[in-house]
Structure 1
């Protein structure tokens, strides 16, 4: 964890139970942030459902969404205890690594499985002085982000270089495309599959030309696969 959570006392937080990879959480409950206890735990008001206090289930991962404007963030955790302060009761939530940003997109995330490779410039060099890229696969793609299945765990906030595959022909297609993404969230996947983790990334562009190239790539994917 990178220090205590920076949320003001009294901030309204929309809550949702975590869902399997590929599904969208439903933020249908509301809680109020009370205070951070330390860098790994914080207190929130006990949410009400149908007029009754929700009974805590320490086995269920909960997502807390907060913030205003175009960017909203999420902190995730498990209810560790019920704490009484004065006449009020609060959930003590133990944080886990997740800090997603929700970006108001003009584009739409498209479900498509494309083979990708990824790396960081700081990884060790092989005997030929090159960096061995790891293999992954997209779950979805948009003009501004990727969700990628992978076997490497990244910390939230780290940057990673992704290479999207060549699609189609030289005369009517898209060349191999390299993009930089910041890790917004990481999830561990059920055992038994080809990948151990799913990462959500927000793409970064240094200029308008890079952004345009990604938009052209995504537009081709949409047209080619009729999404």
Structure 2
């Protein structure tokens, strides 16, 4: 699976960068107790931290709000997925375990304060994923159960059109317990250096394969 970033994104955000991880021969199932415990503990810790701290005070949350603003979306109306998770935690509406892949994705978003997307390779059409900006009339049914307009949002698209976004991902390419191959897109903080980004992405990939088995390869992509 190949990935490219459309040049138009760098016109809005010159220091835009993503991590791209490919997983093979993974096993998705019920999360081990260790992961469930870490996810719960992290949410409880964040809840108490937000007693005297606003969601927008967190650096990653703040930076991705700015990304949305720069591409033309009001971050108060269109909250990126990491911010949405933080606001759930703030209300003590804690995330419940779904399966190992989704639980890890949510854990990483909470830990690093940035959006993560994970997709079933078998449901991605064609061999190329393009990260670009959505256009008018593009939409998909999201994991939030709603039809979501993608106009002026960053999206990941295959031959059939957009299937992912740091706003909300689609149902079409969702990972399930039948998934054996997956790709994960890490929407990194623009302020990170490439070296910092590689360390973060490598750490996430290693934790994922420790729990789900299989193997991983990754790369960090930025303006060249």
TM-score of the pair, normalised by structure 2: 0.24
Which is helix-richer, 1 or 2?
2
Which is strand-richer, 1 or 2?
1
The structure, 1 or 2, with the larger RCO (C-alpha pairs under 8 Å, 6+ apart) is 2
Larger Cα Rg: Structure 1 or Structure 2?
1
TM-score of the pair, normalised by structure 1: 0.24
